[in-house]
Amino acid sequence: MVHLGASDHQLVSAALTAGCLPVAVFTDATRAGVSWTCLARIHSNDDLEVTELRITDPGEDSSLLADLEGSAGLVVAEQTCHRDFIGHPDVEAEVFDLASAAGLVKQDGHLVVVTGLHLEGGVADPVSEIIARARDAGLVYLQHIIALRHPVRGERVDTGLSRRAVAATGELSECAGLPVSARVHSDVLIFARRRSSPPGDPAMPSSDDPSISTSADSVERERGEG
């Protein structure tokens, strides 16, 4: 399992519990250090010996992961907000290049992209672009899951931010202008690398797909109520 754009230890810990060999790529050395300390508290030395935490700069080429090319059964890439890096306005905001991330996935493996609404002059939805780019990289699009980031209380989503959530939002100042309703959920996109692409592979969710429209409608209702 390879986790691109990691910010904490949780996914690595889950991978170890499931018996996987995890590699997590951080862009912040401090977060990587804190994550390692957390892992050391809850996992054995045997687990730590098979765990790799790597540190890179946003927009850096994929040489850091060249040794993992085509070997990962699961790659998780987080793309939470577009940001212009100081002094590097042409660098893409995402920690990973999607084509490079796809290149890590072995046959019958999966790529999971966790994303959400971005600020690009206004609120922008990157889902369609990500799906198109993943397909260009030879992956098959499987599913779009809407993952709520807030607890559900009865029929409402509680958008009251916890102290931890407020702190996290402050760290992403470029995203802080997003309305609360736009930060209610994350989009989880799942792709696979098949030995041969099945005929009729959908490029993106159909607008009349009930499984997608029902979830999307429920989120839109919450936005309206928020």
pLDDT tens per residue across span 112-129: 998 887 766 677 788 888
User: Positive or negative, the Cα torsion across 80, 203, 105, 57?
Assistant: negative
Range 98-122 average pLDDT = 86
How far apart CA 187 and CA 182 sit, in angstroms, is 11
Contact 100, 191 (CB under 8 A): no
Q: Which of 118, 90, 113 is nearest to 100 (CA)?
A: 113
pTM of the model: 0.71
**Domain over 56-225 is classified CATH 1.10.10:** no
At 141, the amino acid letter reads: Y
Contact 76, 3 (CB under 8 A): yes
Average of per-residue pLDDT values in the chain: 74
Asked whether residue 210 carries a pLDDT value surpassing 70, the answer given is no
